């Protein structure tokens, strides 16, 4: 069900991130996908619906077709730890175990790359999602994330 993003998936992936409110004006999501695909130790994994789901089974958002991209996780190893970004489940399927399956698949991918631990960042404006990660065994690492842009500022990096 989970595998690396293909060229034909990119529009669906970006649409899913937008539907899940994961995009930000300073990050070009197309560039994020492209950059992750360039690296030997980074990827965007997509999860596909394994069968057609009628509207009644998928909530209010309409039917889901078999093969449709319904989940994503960007994963990358920084040489020490593995990191997850863009963990997203199609709103029509949220609450049915797909998020757990997505994180498990991404963790397996990171472990296969040699990562011994996994980290992710949760925006302070998305505090509600912390309960999800806690159910999956994630815990506050008691760290503050600091950052600054590198190189010439552009629309992607301005102030971030």
Ligand X SMILES: CC(C)(COP(=O)(O)OP(=O)(O)OC[C@H]1O[C@@H](n2cnc3c(N)ncnc32)[C@H](O)[C@@H]1OP(=O)(O)O)[C@@H](O)C(=O)NCCC(=O)NCCS
Binding site for ligand X (CB under 6 A): 20, 22, 87-89, 94-100, 122, 126, 128-129, 131-132, 135
CB-based closest residue to ligand X? 99
Query: What element of type H or E holds 15?
Result: helix 10-19
If the CB atoms of residues 121 and 154 are measured against ligand X, the closer one turns out to be 121
- In angstroms, give the least distance from the CB of 151 to ligand X: 26
- In angstroms, give the least distance from the CB of 51 to ligand X: 17
If the CB atoms of residues 40 and 60 are measured against ligand X, the closer one turns out to be 60
Calculate Rg over the CA atoms of the chain.
Answer: 16
Sheet of strand 82-89, all strands in order from the earlier edge strand to the far edge: 2-4, 42-48, 69-77, 82-89, 118-120
- In angstroms, give the least distance from the CB of 91 to ligand X: 7
If the CB atoms of residues 34 and 136 are measured against ligand X, the closer one turns out to be 136
- In angstroms, give the least distance from the CB of 74 to ligand X: 10
- 99 with 87: CB under 8 angstroms? yes
3-state secondary structure (DSSP) of residue 44: strand
The span from the CA of 8 to the CA of 26, in Å, is 24
Query: What element of type H or E holds 43?
Result: strand 42-48
If the CB atoms of residues 14 and 89 are measured against ligand X, the closer one turns out to be 89
């Amino acid at each position: 069900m989970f595998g690396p993003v293909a060229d034909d998936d990119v529009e669906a992936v970006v649409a899913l991130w937008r539907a899940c409110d994961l995009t930000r004006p300073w990050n070009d999501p197309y560039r994020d996908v492209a950059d992750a695909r360039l690296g030997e130790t980074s990827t965007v994994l997509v999860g596909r619906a394994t069968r057609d789901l009628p509207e009644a089974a998928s909530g209010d958002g309409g039917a889901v077709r078999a093969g449709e991209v319904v989940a994503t996780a960007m994963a990358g190893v920084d040489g020490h730890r593995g990191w997850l970004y863009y963990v997203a489940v199609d709103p029509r399927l949220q609450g049915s175990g797909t998020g757990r399956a997505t994180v498990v698949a991404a963790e397996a991918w990171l472990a296969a790359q040699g990562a011994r631990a996994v980290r992710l960042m949760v925006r302070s404006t998305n505090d509600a999602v912390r309960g999800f990660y806690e159910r999956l065994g994630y815990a506050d690492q008691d760290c503050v994330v600091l950052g600054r842009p590198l190189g010439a500022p552009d629309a992607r990096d301005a102030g971030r």
